[in-house]
Amino acid sequence: MEDEIFNWDKSVEDVTLDLDEDCEEEYEDSTENKENCSDESSQDWESEELEEPGHSLDTMKNVLAYYDKCKGDKLWKTANRYSCVKTYCTIQRFRKYVEANGRKSDLFKKIEDFTYHKFKSARKSMLCVSDRDIKFWALSFARPTGFQFKASKGWLNTFKKRHRIVSRKITNYSSVKEIEERADIVKRGWDFVKFVKKECAKIPSSSMGNFDQSGLTNELKYDRTLSNVGEKETICAAKSLNATTHSHSIMPLIFMDGKMHKKLLVCLQESGGQFGKRVQKSLVIPENIYLVCSKSGKLDKGIMKRWLNDCVAPTASKQSSFVLIHDSWTGQTDSSLYKDIPNLVKRFQIPAKTTSFTQPLDVYFFRQYKILRRKLADRVMLEGIDLNLHARTNIIKMHSLIYNQLQSSIFQPMIKYSWYACKYVDDRAGRFLNVNEALFDISCLECDEDTCEDFAFIRCGHCRQHLCIKHFFISFHYHSVD
């Protein structure tokens, strides 16, 4: 059938995007406020009588205005009109609160509302915010009122906890122009998803595929580590500094029914762009790996053409109709690459800059894949195992074993969730196990292999055996998948 491509990179109507919904928090009663904020003022909290509903600042002003206007028995007339007035002490407390511009709880609420509004505005504009900024906003509001407010550490911690504010590592930077265009980008992404759902309503889930490449360094680099307090420099060891900068690429193909393609595309970095004769003779390529190489370790149009013809075309020939979803990388957008794929009825190109929420592989799958890879690298490094993971043969073996584990039926609901998270499907697959839950159960620490006394590293997703690093990786614990 004729190959049909839908490119969603086109202008759409401007929309307004609320990046952060209003969080309406119920403020706690005066007793709890006293506990949280007792260090803000030397004065004690007033009795609970004035903390009951209806005793707002406006109510107290009205009571005092009526009391001052009355002639004769002022207290009796005021109490007869306002049930909240019991004794002359009530009038005195009301007057004290009005002169102080309200109760403490009211003032704390106003300070907190103002500060949180400033925080939301700053984050909506993608600006960096620190604890000092929050204190400054609170003090700038409190000082003109004459309220003795210190913005103490206790108040700051309570404020952040109440509004679910934490310190986070900045994962990326965007230009001001990109931030302003974000509303348009988000709308384009969700419109694309709705369009795909409509066009593919009658396509079987087993025929809906998504592929994408991911670049990986030959040796993992770490951003954080536990270490001693006060050290001037935190240094981590690497077996090869060259391996932390040089990379290779992988490209999986996953389907909406939770299954994966039989082969994973792995592209290694070779100086000449091809394997030498000696390397070709020594390479042992597992059945679930489609191995290629390039000078940069990245994919190109030629590699894509070979992979599509050798791997994707045979899979498509078994389907009555076949659909592919991919991003806008130029190496895979050329229509001529797909002309030899049988039964390819539609091909959808994800709009630029929307893959973080419209591409199933990016939304969830790659994160789980990299967790499994990191677990393996951590165990090798921490236990001092003499294993060079950035060697060519070990890179191939590592990806073969990782991909083989994710091909287990136990992970089909997880892959289905990747599609659900992007809203391509309406029904969630139900409770599923992620990589940590399914493969790294620490309830059993012993390897299940006979006579092995080593600690278990992983629980196989296929046979559910607990295996040490030796019996899993070195002995190549592999299961054939139909």
pLDDT at 299: 93
Give the C-alpha separation, 148 to 23, whole Å.
27
- Give the tokens for residue 223: 């951003």
**Mean pLDDT calculated for residue range 428-453:** 87
- Does residue 10 have a pLDDT over 50? no
Residue with tokens 């002490």: 89
**What are the extents of the domains in the chain?**
30-162, 191-225+237-429, 441-482
Most confident of 56-60, 373-377, 384-388, 395-399: 395-399
pLDDT at 103: 61
Give the C-alpha separation, 276 to 270, whole Å.
9
Contact residues for 423 (Cβ-Cβ < 8 A; gap 6+): 190, 193, 197
3-class DSSP string for 372-412:
HHHHHHHHHHHCCCCCCCCCHHHHHHHHHHHHHHHCCHHHH
- Does residue 229 have a pLDDT over 50? yes
CA atoms within 13 A on the CB side of 289: 24
pLDDT at 443: 74
pLDDT at 112: 92
Which helix (H) or strand (E) segment holds residue 360: the answer is helix 360-360
Using alpha carbons, select from 435, 276, 325, 230 the residue that is nearest to residue 8.
325
Residue 210: count of CB within 10 angstroms of its CB: 27
- Does residue 40 have a pLDDT over 50? no
pLDDT at 35: 42
Edge to edge, what strands does the sheet with 214-217 contain?
214-217, 247-251, 264-269, 289-294
pLDDT at 232: 79
Please write the tens of the pLDDT for every residue from 279-338: 888 899 999 999 999 999 999 999 999 999 999 999 999 999 999 999 999 999 999 999
Termini Cα distance of the chain: 27
184-187's contacts with Cβ under 8 Å and 24+ in sequence apart are: 184/12, 184/14, 184/15, 185/351, 185/353, 185/354, 186/17, 186/354, 186/357, 187/12, 187/13, 187/15, 187/17
> Who has greater pLDDT, 21 or 81?
81
Strands 247-251 and 264-269: antiparallel
- Does residue 33 have a pLDDT over 50? no
pLDDT at 313: 95
Q: If you classify domain 191-225+237-429 with CATH, what class do you get? A: alpha beta
pLDDT at 1: 45
Residue with tokens 């795909």: 196
pLDDT at 26: 37
Give the C-alpha separation, 267 to 252, whole Å.
12
**Mean pLDDT calculated for residue range 186-200:** 95
In the structure, what pLDDT confidence band is assigned to residue 23 with cuts at 50, 70 and 90? very low
- The fraction of the chain above a pLDDT of 70, given in percent, is 86
DSSP strand E in 252-326: where? 253-255, 264-269, 289-294, 322-326
Contact residues for 315 (Cβ-Cβ < 8 A; gap 6+): 253, 261, 262, 322
| Three-class SS state of 299 | coil
Please write the tens of the pLDDT for every residue from 153-176: 999 999 999 999 999 888 777 777
Which of 2-6, 44-48, 136-140 is least confident? Answer: 44-48
Q: Dmax of the chain from CA atoms?
A: 112
In the structure, what pLDDT confidence band is assigned to residue 102 with cuts at 50, 70 and 90? low
- Does residue 386 have a pLDDT over 50? yes
Please write the tens of the pLDDT for every residue from 244-273: 767 899 999 999 999 999 999 999 999 888
Contact residues for 58 (Cβ-Cβ < 8 A; gap 6+): none
